Amino acid sequence: MTKACGVDFGTSNSTVGWLGQSAGGGGAAHSLLALEDGKATLPSVVFFNADDDEVRYGRAALADYLAGYEGRLMRSLKSLLGTSLMDGQTEVAGRSLPFRLLLAQFIGELKRRAESQAGRRFEHAVFGRPVFFIDDNPQADRLAEDTLAEVARSVGFREVAFQYEPIAAAFDYESTIAREELVLIVDIGGGTSDFSLVRLGPERAGKPERRDDILATGGVHIGGTDFDKYLSLAAAMPLLGYRGLLRSGAEIPSSYYFNLATWHTINQAYTRKSIAQLEDLVRDASEPGPLRRLQGLIDERAGHWLAMQVEGAKIGLSSEETVVLDLDRLRPPEKLVVTRPRFEEAIGPLPDSIDATVLRLLADAGVTASAVDTVFFTGGSSGVGLLRARVGALVPDARKVEGDLFGSIGAGLALDARRKFG
């Protein structure tokens, strides 16, 4: 059994992979460890339950929040890496909590649950990382990786290595094929879209060094949380006064709506300063009704609830043409109809950036589209039909394969952990 694990700390969901003993005892079988309720994924969510004075994680955290317990919900923690917010803090139960400590609490919980399932301690780990934590800023990108490594070591990982997430997904796909292929790995996750062009095959799989098999990598800081944000701004935030006017003719400041539409800034709408300023805006609004609805949402600390409804619409539109959201916590309640064309219009130019990244990847590799044998999709947001169709159209002759949207990276990291640490 390998002594190391692979950790996919995701913007929306996290997994841990490990090459444990196979069921028959005759060798190693890579698998994802069950982290919550028998499921391999642990939503990257922390809830500080003030009523019960305890910290909850994953689905349990979301359940407490939706049940109406008093407390503080934090999500999309990975999005803080490489930003100035990472050195800041937030208020929890009247106390200041540094974001670094919050990140360490979640990574430590991942480690604890993985070790409990594996029945052993993990002191070595390969962490997945996006091709770019931060676009066009190498210094911030390096800072993000260094911060994650420091946090991982602080919770007991003695040795930490990193692997690009799409390369990890490539290793997972490679374990399933019988001949050599040139594969475009498309990993569209919660916070980033990452791509790799890799030569894969059974004869290559055992090589300790795979650098020559990686023709090119690329990425852009666009992912599922961005799709949530733009859908929220287009469909939900107008119900709360977004783009409404003050009596002076000026537009209502958009900061409230952008904070509520962005997972890792929702709590900024709940500060005393923000609430006091909103009170003044209600008095000055030409139509105060939507702003009063916004006040009610903030008073109930229901920003994450609204974001979850919008995220649910996005997910539903991957398979349905129309989704109806029952926004029963708004006052007055509202039934919001969201269509796939409206969603695709809302995310606007984001698919163009993804297209451009893939075309640049092919150019960097010196490879024509016709040379690509397979497109391998992974990452939860690769289920968005528009994105899949757009990427597929760039390499029309390639076979399209869907991996485990939430598990391929963790499984591939487990394979890489065995290579790196034995």
> 202-228, pLDDT tens digit by residue?
999 877 788 899 999 999 999 999 999
CB atoms within 10 A of CB 324: 12
Kindly report which listed range (194-208, 291-305, 322-336) carries the lowest average pLDDT score: 194-208
Digit-coded pLDDT (tens) for 359-416: 999 999 999 999 999 999 999 999 899 999 999 999 999 999 999 989 999 999 999 9
pLDDT at 347: 95
First to last CA, the chain: 9
- Say yes or no to pLDDT of 47 above 80: yes
> Nearest to residue 185, comparing CAs of 417, 376, 422, 421?
376
Strand 399-402, strand 28-32: pairing: unpaired
CB 251 within 8 A of CB 243: yes
- CB 82 within 8 Å of CB 147: yes
Give the CA distances from residue 170 to residues 97, 196, 373, 374, 411, in Å, rounded to whole numbers and listed in that order. 38, 8, 13, 11, 10
Question: Are the C-beta atoms of 255 and 309 separated by less than 8 Å?
Answer: no
When the pLDDT of each residue in the chain is averaged and rounded to a whole number, the result is 92
CA distance 101 to 151: 8
DSSP string, 325-356: EEETTSSS-EEEEEEHHHHHHHTTTHHHHHHH
Q: Are 127 and 146 in contact (CB under 8 A)?
A: no
Least confident piece of the model among 94-98, 137-141, 271-275: 94-98
Question: What is the SS3 assignment for 104?
Answer: helix
Q: 102: helix, coil or strand?
A: helix
- pLDDT of residue 22 exceeding 60: no
Is pLDDT above 50 for 26?
no
CB atoms within 10 A of CB 59: 16
Q: How far is 61 from 75, CA to CA, in rounded Å?
A: 10
DSSP 8-state secondary structure symbol assigned to residue 268: G
Asked whether the predicted pLDDT for residue 24 surpasses 60, the reply is no
pLDDT class of 89 with cuts at 50, 70, 90: confident
Could you read off the pLDDT of 330-340 as tens digits, one per residue? 999 999 999 99
Do residues 396 and 368 lie in contact, with contact meaning Cβ atoms separated by under 8 Å? no
| Domain extent listing, the chain | 226-346
Cβ atoms of residues 327 and 313 within 8 Å: no
Report, as an integer, the average pLDDT of 149-158.
97
The confidence score (pLDDT) of residue 30 equals 55
Q: What is the mean pLDDT of residues 96-100?
A: 90
* Spatial CA neighbour of 227 closest among 70, 387, 90, 82: 387
Give percent helix, percent strand, percent coil of the chain, each to the nearest 5.
45, 25, 30
Both tokens of 303, joined, read: 């920003």
**Mean pLDDT within 159-167:** 95
User: Residue 52 above 90 pLDDT?
Assistant: no
- The predicted pLDDT at position 92 comes to 82
Taking a C-beta distance cutoff of 8 angstroms, is the pair 41, 29 a contact? no
Half-sphere exposure in the Cβ direction for 310 (13 Å, CA) = 27
Q: Cis before residue 332, ω within 30 degrees of 0?
A: yes
Residue 1 — pLDDT band, cuts 50, 70, 90?
A: low
pLDDT (mean) for 60-78:
92
Parallel, antiparallel or unpaired: strands 124-129 and 4-8: parallel
Res. 114: pLDDT tops 70: yes
Which has the closest alpha carbon to 18: 8, 32, 38, 36?
A: 32
**For residue 93, what pLDDT is reported?**
74
Kind plus residue range of the DSSP H or E element containing 47: strand 45-49
**Which residues in 193-208 are b (16+ Cβ under 10 Å) and which e?**
bbbbbbbbeeeeeeee
Whether the pLDDT of residue 184 is over 90: the answer is yes
- Which pTM was predicted? 0.88
Q: Is 50 exceeded by the pLDDT of residue 27?
A: no
Q: Is the pLDDT of residue 21 over 80?
A: no
Burial class (CB in 10 A: 0-12, 13-18, 19+), 57: buried
Which residue type occupies 415?
Answer: L
